[in-house]
Amino acid sequence: MTIKDLSYVDLLISTATLLLPIWLSYRGRLNIHRDLIVGAARCFAQLTLMGYLLKYIFDLNSAPAVLALLGAMVFFAAQTVSGRLRERLTGLLGHSLLSVGITSFLTLAFVTQIVVRVEPWYSPRYLVGLAGMIIGNAMNGSALAAERLISELKLRAQAIEVLLALGATPRQATAEAVRATIRASLIPPVNSLMTVGLVHLPGIMTGQILGGAPPDTATRYQIMIMYTLTFVSAMTAIAMTTLTVSRFFTPRAQLRQDLLADGPR
């Protein structure tokens, strides 16, 4: 089975699916029509550029080139996470790099070398494809955990200060907030596990079927991917929450209320 090619004219026709949401936003004063237009343009530019870059890397078939691309993906993912919280808490790029980078690379190594057993180990077709999903989910899990942690600390600030006054350490005083943050961060991947195959067919399964792979093979790959993405979401949320919570305390173990106040810091 050959994959049906899509021309740029076909892509232009596909933009018709965005016209109604853009028009509804404009007419209903939802104020997201500009974001839709800019997002569509960025999607086209970024994916087109990535397509040419991947073609070059696939043809090159070089371990240093693949690792350099993966490093760049992790860096931009970490920068995105820290950028979303820059108004509230500075200096999070290092935490983001650690949580996203370490969990992503360990997960990718496990999947490609132990589960799939890719040969050669740096095969870009497998490494880059799987890394895109793993790093993307690590980024989302990290950002969701950091944002939810701020909300939980703000909600429980008075209780935390009472516990601190009674002699609790910052770790003990924030234990419930940390647990609530991690639980909330795992809701999206758990929901995906519950509904996959019944409510939606995920991207990799659909892509493999369109590419001619037998449905049972595509299904097994998708199951492996779902387990992997749930793992990386959980580990990244735990890592990001653990690393970030200490930033909300002074060296004297006092809760920094200024970081929890509304508005930019």
The token duo for 240 is 């990001």
pLDDT given at position 265: 47
How far are the Cα atoms of 12, 14, 108, 173 from residue 9, in angstroms, in the given order? 5, 9, 36, 59
The residue extents of the domains of the chain are: 1-60, 62-259
How far are the Cα atoms of 87, 88, 184, 203, 241 from residue 157, in angstroms, in the given order? 19, 16, 18, 41, 16
pLDDT given at position 10: 86
DSSP secondary structure, 123-134, as one string: -HHHHHHHHHHH
pLDDT given at position 206: 66
Q: pLDDT (tens digit, 0 to 9) for every residue of the chain, 265 residues total?
A: 556 777 888 888 888 899 999 999 988 888 888 999 999 999 999 889 988 998 999 899 899 999 999 999 999 999 888 877 655 566 678 888 999 999 999 999 999 999 989 989 999 988 998 898 899 999 999 989 988 998 899 999 999 999 999 999 999 999 999 999 999 999 988 888 888 877 666 666 666 666 667 878 888 888 888 899 899 999 999 999 998 898 889 888 888 887 777 654 4
Closest CA to 208 of 189, 192, 225: 225
Q: What is the dihedral of CA 60, 62, 64, 70, to 10 degrees?
A: 80
pLDDT given at position 192: 86
Is the pTM higher than 0.85? The answer reads: no
Cis peptide before 251 (omega within 30 of 0): no
pLDDT given at position 112: 92
pLDDT given at position 202: 65
pLDDT given at position 253: 86
